[in-house]
Each structure stands twice: as structure tokens, then as C-alpha cells.
Amino acid sequence: MAAVALVVMGLIWEFTLIPWILLGAFAALYFLEDLRKDKITQPIFKIFKSLLPPMNSTEREALEAGDVWWDGELFKGNPDWKQMLSYPKPELSKEENDFVNHQVEELCKMVNDWKVVHEDKDLPPEAWEYMKKEGFLGMIIPKEYGGLGFSAFAHSTVVSKLATRSGSLSVSVMVPNSLGPAELLLHYGTEEQKNHYLPRLAKGEEIPCFALTGPEAGSDAGAIPDLGVVCKGEFEGKETLGIRLSWNKRYITLAPIATVLGLAFKLHDPEGLLGDEEDLGITCALIPTDHEGVEVGNRHYPMGQAFMNGPTHGKDVFIPIDWIIGGQEYAGKGWRMLVECLSAGRGISLPSSAAATGKLSYRLTGAYSVLRQQFKTSIGQFEGVEEALARVAGDTYQLESMRVMTAGAVDLSCKPSVVTAIAKYHMTELARNIVTDAMDIHGGRGVIMGDRNYLSSGYMSMPISITVEGANILTRNLMIFGQGAIRCHPFVFREMQAANNPDERAGLNEFDSLFFRHIGYGVSNFVRTLSLSFTAGRIAHKPTSGKTAYYYQQLTRMSSALAMVSDISMMLLGGELKRKERLSARLGDVLSYLYMSSTVLKFYEDNGRPLSDLPYVEWCLQKNLFLTQKAFMDFFDNLPVSWLGATLKRLVFPYGRAYKMPSDKLDHKIVQSMLTDCELRDRLTNNIFIGEENDPAGRIEHAFKKVLASAPLALKLRDAMKAGKLKAGRTKEDTIATALATGVFTQEEANMYAEAEAARLDAIQVDDYSKEYIATGKEGKPKAKSKAA
Ligand SMILES: Cc1cc2nc3c(=O)[nH]c(=O)nc-3n(C[C@H](O)[C@H](O)[C@H](O)COP(=O)(O)OP(=O)(O)OC[C@H]3O[C@@H](n4cnc5c(N)ncnc54)[C@H](O)[C@@H]3O)c2cc1C
């Protein structure tokens, strides 16, 4: 290709020798394999090895776990959008849909979150029974073992709906279905373990928990000090090969009521009873909690939530060796098992709860903004409130798109470790912002806790979502790019494996073949980035027509820039990039916003490109592109080599900043569907629990519908007043009575208007309780309330 280009250039312009000499030297080196390896590859290989960040076996196993999916395309710089659009649309089967509409609805009705959290500090016994009987605790267990055998998407939808009723309820269901004994057994358990435990877990006869975290090992979970020593001991009256175990774990969800404890510990074999290796590494075992020496029962009290969570201890507890998950063969493989299972589960549990926070806040905050009037105006009409409503609206669209596509990825039988980390981090952060905005918009109605409050419990528990399954600061700063850049890069991971090859020559051969292709990849990214930057992305391929085409082009442009900037940064900073967390996190942000934007475009296409969604799609894409630009700019401004930062900035944004945040006009557009009873509002907030008129969400929803239905009457009243036919009374009741008396309203209209007004007044009320009840959660009944107290 290069030779043809030179010939053509020679025909058009003057012949110049230098490019031909360079090309000749390059070709000679390329074809003289031994010379190339010794003179070029070998020294580079040495430098590459010295630049690699030090990596222990737990870090390496974490890197190797999980799969690369659409993130790989986004990272490589030229995403194949057709591929993304061809992923099947995640959908519920009829059986799953029926379960969501019946069993999940029923379970939600059994649980009153205020009572659970404030009075009982536990779910009602009938809810626990129902969960066990209907298989809620075994959704991911295949039917052959008596489980529901649900897809990841169905699992996510169930958890999400439960979370709109009660966080304590959804966590209690989420944990047995996420990273825990069932998931580990399904992937690694022996046939005997599966046949024993899975049917019992599916029916709720066993309650599982999984204990990894301890006082000294939180984020750095690979550093657990809990120890198991292989030895012989007595079990059921016989001498048995086993493990003497000591552990001290905390924060363990379901531990206080668990019947089977999944435990991670480090395994030592000083007597060589299992083989030659003494330090076998992290190992996972299943231990019945009634086994001698196992301590469970005490509870922590996380943010006042009522789900079961507590510590577990054990000292010198002897367990038989075949209690290791997967048996003796899996001794020492626990870390990899955990990381692989986490890769999938992390994309379901917390993302589903985050989407639930968004959907509930969207639906009820929009409705409340219609119901609540100040200065004789619904507060949703004020521009300041509209600004916050727009964030709730747009981010909820983002959350639901991301929930659907990420759960769908897990159903494609892959364990996408990078996109699930992106989903965990960004979705919980978006949910935190949404619930804060929702609280602000509700004012005192959000702050006063009680039976009527549908926001405060979610607001209080938000730090839990931020902390668990990879605390967010760590996830952003260490995992998304740290893992993403290495796993998604088409060459770096394989080059690292070549560098770690104990056979030096084989490693060099492998590296040689990868390195030259890596150079080609780098050059093509550079050329593509330059052409896309200078044409403002307009020459990029458009996989669709219409307004979204522009966004695909801009995403390709940013993806190309990410590929180029990542390569240059890795080359420049090597292992230092891992320690420069704030720099690498920004590149991780770019990858995240590209992924988030993809999910929005896919959601839009999968829903048949509804016209009503277009402002939402544009809002999300504009916000994501703006944040991508910000992440890049902050990265360039903070690069230790300032001239390089300035040069990269010029290359990626030659005409200065290219993207802006959504305009006030677009904000206004997307808020309108929150304030009306429309198809988009229903579709975006489908599968949430609303309940009846006296349920916290139902009260708002019913008032909203009544007030919207009576809106023409409010106009009639206003027009009559303007025309001087009617004077406003001292109260609304007086006005309605006068409207009836003067013939402005018929009796039916007066009734309808009065009912809507009563519902509106009821919806804005807050709870008050006796002092005893506030103090104890038990004594003294809450005061009875009249409808419009
Ligand atoms: C309610 C609840 C339920 C839980 N359930 C379980 C369970 O069932 N089983 C279980 O095993 N564990 C469970 N956990 C533990 C949970 O996974 C840990 O809390 C989590 O891993 C963080 O550990 P830590 O709280 O000790 O925070 P720390 O590790 O002390 O971290 C403190 C802060 O430092 C940041 N940080 C740490 N290292 C880095 C780094 N290298 N770069 C940047 N930032 C960093 C973190 O992001 C965090 O912000 C639960 C925790 C809670 C609160």
C-alpha cells in the first residue's frame, strides 16, 4: 500500500528518495526476521517488560477474568455500530412477564417499607415465606434444580421492581441471586454439591450468604488474613482430610439469618497433604452455619435499612476438604471464581436498583411537580425546578437504557467485566444525583420521614449502593480504565502475556508478531483521529439516518481519539499510569460515556425509534459528549508532560471545544413528558410498583391522574373569573360552591373538581406521629389522618 502511494505521489509531484529509503529499510527489517528480532524487538521487549506495572497473582487473575464485549469495539477506535445494533433486544419471556406482574406485584403489596424499616427492622414473616415459596431466592438457579431459571434481564427486572417498593426487600432477594453460593455452585460446584444445595437454595430451605470482607480487607479483598490450614481431623466420628479455619468477617448480607455460609479464606498446606504447593491462595468453601464453631447472628445496621447484615467469626473450625466449592481441585482458585462471578452479578443487582431509583423518582417527582402549587402555580412550571426535573428525566432515560443493554449482555453468555464495572459506577452515581434532585424538588415533603414518604429511604440507603460490589472511587479510578485499557486493547493484554511467558524465546516470538501489528494499529488510529478531528467527525460512517446519525459520527470520533490517546499515554507513562489514578480515571470516563451513549442509541432503536424519545436521546448524547470532552480536556491539562498534553488537545479538538451541555430548550422539552400522562412516561417507568390510593406512590399517582383529568375544569374556572362571571372564594371549596351556584360548573363537574382537589391536598401531606412512636417505633399508634388533613 505504502509503495503504491509513493508511486502515485511520484507521478503527481516530484520523485523524492528519502521516503523510498525509509520504506526499503522498514521492509528489509520486516522480512529479515532474525535481524529484526535481535536488533529491534529484543530491546523493545526489554523496555516493555521494565515498564509493566508490578502485578501480583490476585491482580493478574482479576485482569484475566471476564470477557470483552462491546467495550472492546469502543476502545479500538472504530466501533462497528452494525454489530451493536444487531444484538438481540432483551425481552421477558411470557413466564417471566407473568411473574413480574403477579408474584412480584403480590410480594410488593405484602411489604410496607416504613413499617419494615422503622417498626419491625425486618421483612414481615409472610413476605419471607412467600419469597421462599415462589422461588424469589432461586431466580438464577436452573429449572432442573427446582429454580426459576430466569434470564439476567428478568432477574434485573424483578430486583428493579422490588426496589421501587422497598430497598430492604430488593436487597434480601438480590443477594442470594447475585454473587453468592448459588452462582458459585452453578459455575464451579461438584455434581454432589449442586445436587445437595441447589434444590434447597431454590426453595429457600437454605438461606445463603457470602463472606469475603473483613476489618482489614475491604477494597483490597485479595488481602484477606482469614486462614485455613490443610490437616487431618475428626468429622462425624472419622478421621478426615480437612481444613482448620479461622475467620473474622464483617458487613455480610444475610449472615444473621443464613443457614449456609460461603466463605473466602487463604489456604495453606504446610504438610503437603494436597500437593507440592504450600500457599495455595484464596479458596471458597460452603459451611452450614449450625456447624460447630461458626458464629453468626449479630446484626449491623446499615443506614437504618432493615435487610439482614452482620459479622461472622470462627476460630479453629474444622471442615472436611470436600466443603471447598468445586472440591479439592478448586483449592486456591477462589479469587478467579469470585472475580468471574462478580463480573456478571455487578451488572445486575446495583444497576437494577439504580434504575429503580430513577424510574420512581421520574414518575413521582414529575407528578408531584404538577400537584404541588406555590405562588398559585404548579412548581414544575418554574424554570429553576425544571432544570432539576430535566436532570431526573434525562438521567432516568440513561439509566433504563443502560440497565437493559447491560443485563442483555449477561444473557449473551458473556461476563463483560469492564461494562459491568462501568454500569455499577455510573448508574449508582446517576441514581445518587437523581434522588438528590428529587428530594430538593419535594422540599419538606421529601424530608419528613414516614409512611407517606417514598424517597427518604432510597436517599438514606444510597451510600450502600455506592460502597458495595466495588466501592465507587476505587471502581472509577482503578478498575474501569485500569482493567478496560488492558482487556479491551487488541494487543496490550497479549503483549503482557508474552512478557510474562517463562519461556523467554517463545515470549519474544509472540511479542514480535504482536508489536508490529500494534504499530500498524497505532498508525491507523492516529490517521483516523486526525481526519475525524479536522472534519469534525462528518466523514465518519453513519449506520442510521435522521438526527441520531450525527451522534454516531461523534462517538466514532471520540472513540478514535480514545484509542490514540490511550496508546500514547500507555507508551509514555507505562506502569505509572496505574498509579496516576486521576489521569487514568479520566480515560475511563471517556470509555464509560461512549458505552453509556451506545446504550441510549440501542434503546432508542430497539423501541422502534419513537419520535417522543428523540429529545431524550439527544439530551443524553449531548450530555455524554460534553462530559467526554471535559474528561479529555482535564486529562490533557494534567498530563505530566505539558507539551504533549497541549499537542494532543490540538489533535483531538483542533477547533476548540466541540460539544455543549443540553440547552434550556431541550431541558424544557424532555420535562414535558414527566408532567403529562403519556405513553413515554408509562414505557420509561414500566415495571415499578405503584399500588393503591393509600400506598405511598399510589397516592401521588392517583392524585396526578385526577388533577390532569380535571385540568379543563381549572381552565373553565379561570376563564369565568377573567370574564367576571365568578369571584374566587376564601377557600377552594367556596370557589367550587360559587361556580356551581353561578352555573359555571355542573354538579358532576363540581364533584370531579372537588375530588381532584381533595386528592391533591392529600398527596402533599406529610406524616406526624406520637412521641412514643418516634422514640421506639412501637408504642403509640401513628395518628389517624383525615384525607385532606
Ligand atoms: C451494607 C453492606 C453490605 C455488604 N455485603 C457484603 C457481603 O455480603 N459480603 C462481603 O464479602 N462483603 C460485603 N460488603 C463489603 C463491601 O464489599 C465493602 O464494604 C467494600 O468492598 C468496600 O470496603 P470498605 O468498606 O472496607 O472500604 P475501604 O476499602 O476501606 O475503602 C475506603 C475508600 O477508599 C477507596 N479506595 C480503596 N482503595 C482504593 C484505591 N486503590 N484507589 C482509589 N480508591 C480506593 C474506596 O473506594 C473507598 O471510597 C458489604 C458492605 C456493606 C456496607
Among 687, 152, 186, 77, smallest CA distance to 406 is for 152
pTM of the model: 0.94
Q: Which atom of ligand 1 is nearest to the CA of 469?
A: 17
Q: Alpha helix (H) ranges present in 535-678?
A: 548-573, 576-579, 581-606, 614-638, 642-652, 664-672
- Report which protein residue has its CA nearest ligand 1's atom 50: 251
Q: Is the CB of 651 under 6 A from ligand 1?
A: no
Residue whose CB lies within 8 A of the most ligand 1 atoms, among 59, 212, 251, for a mutation test: 251
Q: Which three cell numbers stand for residue 210?
A: 457470602
Q: Which atom of ligand 1 is nearest to the CA of 475?
A: 47
Distances (CA, A) of 743 to 224, 710, 714, 723, 748: 78, 17, 15, 14, 12
Length, in residues, of the chain: 789
Separation of CA 331 and ligand 1 centre (Å):
25
Q: Rounded distance, CA 254 to CA 300, Å?
A: 11
Q: Which atom of ligand 1 is nearest to the CA of 253?
A: 8
Which residues have CB under 8 Å from 86's CB, separation 6+? none
Q: What is the mean pLDDT of residues 736-760?
A: 96
Q: Which three cell numbers stand for residue 473?
A: 472511587
Report pLDDT digits (tens) over 671-683: 999 999 999 999 9
Among 543, 167, 638, smallest CA distance to 357 is for 167
Q: Which three cell numbers stand for residue 320?
A: 472436611
pLDDT at 205: 96
Q: Rounded distance, CA 183 to CA 140, Å?
A: 8
pLDDT at 12: 58
Q: Is the CB of 213 under 6 A from ligand 1?
A: yes
Q: Is the CB of 477 under 6 A from ligand 1?
A: yes
At position 307, the amino acid (one-letter code) is F
What confidence category does residue 786 fall into, taking pLDDT thresholds of 50, 70 and 90?
very low
Among 264, 278, 175, 183, smallest CA distance to 222 is for 264
Residue whose CB lies within 8 A of the most ligand 1 atoms, among 56, 468, 469, 582, for a mutation test: 468
What confidence category does residue 500 fall into, taking pLDDT thresholds of 50, 70 and 90?
confident
Q: Which of the two residues, 435 and 21, has the higher pLDDT score? A: 435
Catalytic residue among 183, 340, 400, 469: 469
Residue whose CB lies within 8 A of the most ligand 1 atoms, among 213, 252, 584, for a mutation test: 213
Known catalytic residue: 129? Answer: no
Q: Are 406 and 351 in contact (CB under 8 A)?
A: yes
Q: Is the CB of 736 under 6 A from ligand 1?
A: no
Q: Rounded distance, CA 67 to CA 52, Å?
A: 22
Q: Is the CB of 251 under 6 A from ligand 1?
A: yes
Which residues have CB under 8 Å from 407's CB, separation 6+? 90, 151, 152, 153, 155, 156, 347, 348, 351, 352
* 758: pLDDT strictly greater than 60: yes
Separation of CA 463 and ligand 1 centre (Å):
11
* 194: pLDDT strictly greater than 80: yes
Q: Which three cell numbers stand for residue 709?
A: 383529568
Separation of CA 112 and ligand 1 centre (Å):
29
Distances (CA, A) of 481 to 489, 499, 559, 560, 582: 11, 21, 14, 16, 11
Report pLDDT digits (tens) over 706-717: 999 999 999 999
Separation of CA 467 and ligand 1 centre (Å):
5
* 789: pLDDT strictly greater than 50: no
Separation of CA 729 and ligand 1 centre (Å):
59
Q: Is the CB of 252 under 6 A from ligand 1?
A: yes
Q: Rounded distance, CA 128 to CA 173, Å?
A: 10
Angle at 741 between CA 738 and CA 746, to 5 degrees: 105
Q: Are strands 260-268 and 279-288 parallel, antiparallel or unpaired?
A: antiparallel
- Report which protein residue has its CA nearest ligand 1's atom 44: 474
Q: Is the CB of 744 under 6 A from ligand 1?
A: no
Q: Are strands 309-320 and 260-268 parallel, antiparallel or unpaired?
A: unpaired
Q: Is the CB of 218 under 6 A from ligand 1?
A: yes
- Report which protein residue has its CA nearest ligand 1's atom 41: 474
What confidence category does residue 367 fall into, taking pLDDT thresholds of 50, 70 and 90?
very high
Q: Which three cell numbers stand for residue 622?
A: 449531548
Q: Is the CB of 179 under 6 A from ligand 1?
A: no
Q: Is the CB of 210 under 6 A from ligand 1?
A: yes
Q: Is the CB of 253 under 6 A from ligand 1?
A: yes
3-state class percentages of the chain: helix first, strand second, coil last, to nearest 5: 65, 10, 30
Q: Which atom of ligand 1 is nearest to the CA of 305?
A: 1
Q: Which atom of ligand 1 is nearest to the CA of 472?
A: 47
Q: Are 294 and 300 in contact (CB under 8 A)?
A: no
Count Cα atoms within 13 angstroms, Cβ side, for 638. Answer: 15
pLDDT at 33: 75
Q: Rounded distance, CA 693 to CA 387, Å?
A: 29
- Report which protein residue has its CA nearest ligand 1's atom 4: 251
The pLDDT > 70 percentage for the chain reads 94
Q: Are strands 227-235 and 238-253 parallel, antiparallel or unpaired?
A: antiparallel
Separation of CA 692 and ligand 1 centre (Å):
38
Q: Rounded distance, CA 750 to CA 732, Å?
A: 11
Distances (CA, A) of 754 to 230, 619, 736, 760: 76, 38, 7, 10
pLDDT at 8: 58
Report pLDDT digits (tens) over 562-576: 999 999 998 888 778
Tell me the backbone φ, ψ of residue 331, rounded to 5 degrees. Answer: -60, 125
Q: Which atom of ligand 1 is nearest to the CA of 302?
A: 1
Residue 88 DSSP one-character state:
P
pLDDT at 2: 57
Separation of CA 586 and ligand 1 centre (Å):
22
Separation of CA 342 and ligand 1 centre (Å):
14
Q: Is the CB of 178 under 6 A from ligand 1?
A: no
Where does 254-305 show beta strands of DSSP type E?
A: 260-268, 279-288
* 784: pLDDT strictly greater than 80: no
Q: Are 352 and 287 in contact (CB under 8 A)?
A: no
Separation of CA 310 and ligand 1 centre (Å):
15
- Report which protein residue has its CA nearest ligand 1's atom 24: 218
Residue whose CB lies within 8 A of the most ligand 1 atoms, among 173, 174, 219, 224, for a mutation test: 219
pLDDT at 785: 52
Among 617, 598, 626, smallest CA distance to 684 is for 617
Q: What is the mean pLDDT of residues 451-462?
A: 97
pLDDT at 787: 46
Residue whose CB lies within 8 A of the most ligand 1 atoms, among 474, 475, 476, for a mutation test: 474
Separation of CA 509 and ligand 1 centre (Å):
42
Q: Which atom of ligand 1 is nearest to the CA of 300?
A: 1
pLDDT at 788: 45
SS3 377: strand
Report pLDDT digits (tens) over 388-437: 999 999 999 999 999 999 999 999 978 888 999 999 999 999 999 999 99
What confidence category does residue 31 fall into, taking pLDDT thresholds of 50, 70 and 90?
low
What is the average pLDDT value for the chain, to the nearest integer? 93
Q: What is the mean pLDDT of residues 451-480?
A: 96
Q: Is the CB of 303 under 6 A from ligand 1?
A: no
- Report which protein residue has its CA nearest ligand 1's atom 27: 218
Separation of CA 252 and ligand 1 centre (Å):
12
Separation of CA 472 and ligand 1 centre (Å):
9
Q: Is the CB of 281 under 6 A from ligand 1?
A: no
Q: Is the CB of 474 under 6 A from ligand 1?
A: yes
Q: Which atom of ligand 1 is nearest to the CA of 303?
A: 1
Separation of CA 470 and ligand 1 centre (Å):
6
Q: Is the CB of 274 under 6 A from ligand 1?
A: no
Q: What is the mean pLDDT of residues 354-366?
A: 98
For residue 644, count CB atoms less than 10 angstroms from its CB and return exposed for 0-12, middle for 13-18, buried for 19 or more.
Answer: middle
Phi-psi region for residue 360, left (φ > 0), alpha (ψ -120 to 50) or beta?
alpha
Q: Which three cell numbers stand for residue 639?
A: 498530563
Separation of CA 136 and ligand 1 centre (Å):
27
Buried b (16+ CB within 10 A) or exposed e, 25-49: eeeebeeeeeebbeeebeeebeebe
* 5: pLDDT strictly greater than 70: no
Q: Is the CB of 302 under 6 A from ligand 1?
A: yes
